[in-house]
Structure 1
Amino acid sequence: MSTVQTASGPMPRQIAYIIGNEACERFSFYGMRNILVPFLISSVLLGYLPQGADRDAAAKDIFHTFVIGVYFFPLLGGWLADRFFGKYHTILWFSLIYCAGHACLAMFENNATGFYTGLFLIALGSGGIKPLVVSFCGDQFDQTNKSKAKVVFDAFYWIINFGSFFASLLAPLFLRHYGPAVAFGIPGVLMFIATFVFWLGRKEYVNVPPTRRDPHAFFEVVKTALRARHAGEGRPGLAVAMVGVVSAAVMLALWLLSATVALPWWPTDFGFVITACLALGVIIALGGWGASLQLERARGLHPDAAVDGVRAVLRILIVFALVTPFWSLFDQKASTWIIQGREMVIPHGSAWWPSWLIQDAAQMQALNPLLVMLLIPFNNLVLYPALRRIGFEPTALRRMGWGIAISGTAWIVAGGLQLWIDSGDEVSLAWQSVPYLLLTFGEVLVSATALEFAYSQAPQAMKGVIMAFWYLTSTFGSLWVLLTNAGVRNEAVTAYIASTGLSENAFLMFFFAAFAFAAALAFGLYARRYPMQDNYRVA
């Protein structure tokens, strides 16, 4: 690829292959994801449960467990790409695993082992490529044309939603009219096309080589800092980090013990997924805290740039942690909001309602990508310039903080709709468009912004891993949902909810709204002192 050494060099032509791959892959992913809950509720896979709340809850748990996997495996993909195979080969190989998972869903709709194997393979494949496609796209830019990267990151997010829109609109119709084999098979075909399109650009890409055996890599600097001794000083950071490791080991040991021996004080709903995620969270939180306490001890043993890079990553992880409540709200549009929509009335009798197209509550999810495609250009061309004219600069962190708060407002509205449903009135499904609008506006402010933020803040050698940590925020978002679902199965909690006079669904909607508002406040306070970085590649 040739570029002109100016501040506004040409757009890399290979971007077209990456964008085309992403459009097909997103149709593939959202096509299967957005019909997963309604399929499970009515499938023989949950035939051991009665119709109603038990089956709804089980479908939600399976869905959010799947989401946890999708956003956990980026850690594996990012590590393999950064240390061994590079981004291109890792994306290609995980894409083939992804295709195999879709094939399992299409072939094993009535076989639990085959179907759940398919979900695992999709989680592995989708998760493995997830941190890499965005950072691989960023690798195609350098200091000469980085001004065009923001345009591409926005276009990237726009095309994701272009694929998601058609998937969300059509997949429920495929499921309703042609059955699960076709509904899950079509996304599989699109994933094969996505893989082929990505392969076509193989001779055009800029391939940043993996950083093998880097003695100044993130974890090497952290290990040095934790082990280093200073005369007359203890090692408080190492002690904090070891508390995290020991706590995680104890959690996993207790889970294993509870599988064979009844432990009355161990939560019965804390299966392997919840326990493993909590253990991972403790290691990341206390390990990062411990490293920050002793990080300066690594200076002199590692270059200043490496130590400063680790400090930057630790700051980014705090930003990421404060975003996790947003994902606990956002991902429930494909579970809790679908279940709510099934209690509402589709206004087929109204002349303005497109009954020929919208026939299922799950199709309301198509509003989300449609609104994203409208809001991104509106924000960039109208809203942000207007804010700048009145003296308010919509920085990345400001946009993300406001996005979390607005998502909480969406759940206040959803809770109001649930109160309306609980009163016994017939509520039109069209009313769900209001919380969808608010949630999508919050998403654009948080997620579209974070793609640019995460890439620009990460040191060059750690871009794949830091993107993996960004996607891990969705894992913890779904973890909060699983923990909440487990909590409401507790008799004391259900008794308290009953004492409020609210239904369980309404109570949880207001609870998640409050969760988002608290997170937005904490995010805003931290963002005021966050030092922004510029880590684009030098030409």
Structure 2
Amino acid sequence: MTIPATAAPAESSNRLPRQIPYIIGNEGCERFSFYGMRNILVQFLASSALLAYLPEGERAGMAKEVFHTFVIGVYFFPLLGGWLADRFFGKYRTVLWFSLIYCAGHACLALFENNRNGFYTGLFLIALGSGGIKPLVVSFVGDQFDQTNKHLARKVFDGFYWIINFGSFFASLLMPIFLREYGPAVAFGIPGALMFIATFIFWLGRKQYINVPPAASDPNSFLHVARTALLAPGQGRGGFLVAMGGFALAAGLLLGWALHATVGLSWWPESFGFVISACLALGAVIAFGGIGTSMQLDRARGTHPDAAVDGVRAVLRILIVFALTTPFWSLFDQKASTWVLQGNQMAMPHDAWWWPSWLVRDAAQMQALNPALVMLLIPFNNLVLYPALKRMGFEPTALRRMGAGIAFSGVAWVIAGALQLYIDGGDPVSLAWQILPYALLTFGEVLVSATALEFAYSQAPQAMKGVIMAFWYLASTFGSLWVLLTNAGVRNEYVTSHIGATGLSENAFLMFFFAGFAFVAAAAFALYARRYPMQDNYRHA
């Protein structure tokens, strides 16, 4: 059923919309499929024939690089999916079509376990499909509610978040077993089957969905206001020159990569492939374009309503907050790469009476701790921790929670680095010790990720909320970019000699480096938060 965005469906205020179970079922199967393949990817690549062309000592590093390149794609393609849905096809058709691409990607992983081109094509298709639907499914749930039943929406969103972690938990726990016992074709085929089921479930509800049609181009959108501000005549062109400098830098980065790839440009860094170059170019456009727009934003007044101009100002402030969270994501996403590789060096504590040896036999299965702890920590924080802090006179505001979450991730990596020191020293280290850094990192995730969505929603005006969601996903993209840049750096002889002079192994050094990265980011976040002007942009009832 397609209705205008302003129309009200005739749903009973006491009944949940009948189409909601189709969306929830789709999300549960899709999340199992995604985390099922994601959480065994590094483990598979590090020992697969796909990387057999490399010396054995370099395979783990390349597996990490492939993984984080894939993550960059997953969190970049929401820009494409959101744009296609909002401007042309609507959410339902965009989700359905991208889901079919997603299924094709899973099929490639299962069929081409020994073919590098086929397997990497599958990763690209999954990144495209998963990223394409990522910004749409949550908002599609919201479209199913109106003023008559909006009080039921929070229960549905709670269920939505729960099913995400439910799917992630079982995928993280079970898929390493299938990889070990039945091989990669089965281990990657099962997530593919789940994605096909997810798509089928979503299709079954097609006649019951409320489909808000694509919107026409908004003359007061974020990009329109920014363009007006940069191009409007006035005294001084500092903002315009800064923005153009960003575009020139981006063009130079892409040109440098292209010349290196085609004619072998000698001074271009060998490890700066297309993904790193393109992400740096995008970062230059966003950073310098944002600074330039901020410098001249008031010139857009008169051409655009004050509310639209103020909305762009609010988005630019939120972007600084998001930028300061990118180091957190560089630490968080490495739990599926660096921490799995570290766990493979640790001893499985089968002799401990409490260790579930009948189930947990691979280091990759430790990732199941993350969704399990998320489901426990969210109610604990809301019902116990935050009320206790308020009673002690400390208000856990959104920005304070996010800053603390970044710091907790740094503590988690200090502990991971300490474990690596023991491993490097030849001492047998029980895999059970990884429970502590996983718990601290997950606590940081709950403080950062769940809080950031609430924060962004409250700070962005209604017309800018879609833009904010797209930029939030880019925070994860740039988090993985820092990992790729670090991996590129450790291939440099000067860097490796410096690491050797510290007396630490490369793994231990990088763990402490990322911990320090998080602590610096947490300090910068705290300084910015102290002068951030809080807004309240919840819509009126």
TM-score normalized with structure 1 length: 0.94
Q: Please show how residues 303-382 of structure 1 align to structure 2 within 5 Å.
A: 303-382=305-384
Q: Which residue of 2 aligns with 1:399?
A: 401
* Secondary structure class of the residue paired with 1:35: helix
Distance 1:478 1:211 in 2: 32
Worse overlay, 373-382 or 162-171: 373-382
State how far apart, in whole Å, the 2-side matches of 1:530 and 1:375 are: 27
Paired residue for 2:198?
Answer: 194
* Equivalent pairs, count: 533
Shift of the alpha carbon at 1:491? 0.9
State the alpha-carbon separation in 1 of the partners of residues 55 and 27 from structure 2.
39
Matches of 1:33 and 1:468, distance apart in 2: 22
Cα 1:493–1:407, aligned 2, differ >3 Å: closer, same or farther? same
C-alpha displacement of 1:515: 0.6
1:498-537 pair list within 5 angstroms: 498-536=500-538
Give the stretch that moved more between structures: 220-229 or 345-354: 345-354
2:240 corresponds to: 238
In 2, Cα distance between the equivalents of 1:14 and 1:318? Answer: 38
Name the structure 1 match of 2:481.
479
Of 255-264 and 374-383, more deviation after overlay is shown by: 255-264
Structure 1 stretches of 5 or more lacking a match? Answer: none
**CA–CA distance in 2 between the matches of 1:392 and 1:25?**
40
List per-residue Cα deviations over 1:168-190 (Å, max 9, x = no partner). Answer: 00000011111111111111111
Match of 1:284 in 2: 286
Q: Give yes or no for the alignment of 1:69 onto 2:70.
A: no
Residues 373-407 of structure 1, C-alpha deviations (whole Å, 9 max, x = no match):
11111112211222222233322222211111101
Task: Flag the 1:28–1:410 CA change in 2: closer, same or farther, 3 A.
Answer: same
Map 1:216-295 → 2, pairs under 5 A: 216-230=220-234, 233-295=235-297
The one-letter amino acid of 1:439's match is L
RMSD, aligned CA = 2.1
Which residue matches 1:107? 111
Matched, 1:58 2:100: no
Once structures 1 and 2 are overlaid, which stretch shifts more, 254-263 or 414-423?
254-263
Deviation at 1:435, TM superposition (A): 0.3
Equivalent in the alignment of 1:168: 172
Contact 2:349/2:430 (8 A) holds in 1:
yes
User: How far apart in 1 are the matches of 2:32 and 2:476?
Assistant: 19
Aligned to 1:273, what secondary structure does the other structure show? Answer: helix
Q: Determine if contact 1:135/1:455 at 8 Å carries over to the other structure.
A: no
The whole-number CA distance in structure 1 between the counterparts of 2:413 and 2:269 is 28
The answer to whether residue 21 in structure 2 is matched with residue 30 in structure 1 is: no
1:363-512 matched pairs, under 5 angstroms:
363-512=365-514
Render the CA deviation track for 1:110-139: whole Å, top value 9, x for unaligned: 111211111000000001111222233344
Q: Distance in 2 between matches of 1:147 and 1:325?
A: 36
Report the Cα distance in structure 1 between the residues aligned to 2:528 and 2:153, rounded to whole angstroms: 27
Residue 454 of structure 1 and its aligned partner are, at CA, apart by 3.2
Structure 2 residue matching 1:519: 3-state secondary structure: helix
Q: Supply the distance in 2 between the matched residues of 1:538 and 1:91 (Cα, whole angstroms).
A: 30
The within-5 A match list for 1:120-135 is 120-135=124-139
CA drift of 1:108 comes to 1.2
Residues 497 and 76 of structure 1, relative CA distance in 2, 3 Å threshold: same
User: How many Å separate the matches in 2 of 1:457 and 1:136?
Assistant: 21
Higher relative contact order (CA 8 A, sep 6+): 1
Compared with structure 1, are the counterparts of its residues 319 and 135 closer, same or farther at alpha carbon in structure 2 (3 Å cutoff)? farther
Residue number among 91, 96, 109 corresponding to 1:92 in the alignment:
96
Change (3 A) 1:146 1:292: farther
Distance 1:319 1:163 in 2: 30
Q: How far apart, in 2, do the equivalents of 1:81 and 1:458 lie?
A: 21
Q: Which moved more, 1:87-96 or 1:460-469?
A: 460-469
Q: Is the 8 A contact 2:405 2:447 kept in 1?
A: yes
Give the drift of 1:464: 3.3
Measured after TM superposition, the shift of residue 197 of structure 1 is 2.6
Contact in 1 for aligned 2:39/2:364 (Cα 8 Å): yes
Q: 1:142 to 1:384 in 2, by over 3 A?
A: farther
Write out per-residue CA displacement over residues 314-339 of structure 1, whole angstroms, 9 at most, x where no aligned residue. 12211111111011000000110011
Cα distance in 2 for partners of 1:145, 1:457 equals 25
Aligned to 2:51: 46
Q: CA deviation at 1:200?
A: 3.4
Aligned CA distance change for structure 1 residues 394 and 210 (closer, same or farther; 3 Å):
farther
Distance 2:153 2:393 in 1: 25
Equivalent position amino acid for 1:281 in 2: G
After TM superposition, the score normalised by the length of structure 2 is: 0.94
Cα distance between partner residues in 1 of 2:251 and 2:367: 40
**Kept in 1: contact 2:260–2:266 (CA 8 A):** no
The percent of aligned pairs where both chains have the same amino acid is 78
- Give unmatched runs, 5+ long, in structure 2: 1-8
1:119 is aligned to 123
Q: Aligned partners of 2:519 and 2:386: how far apart in 1? A: 23
Deviates more, 1:395-404 or 1:526-535: 526-535
Q: Which amino acid aligns with 1:388?
A: K
Structure 1 residues 19 and 388, CA, compared in 2 at 3 Å: closer, same or farther?
farther
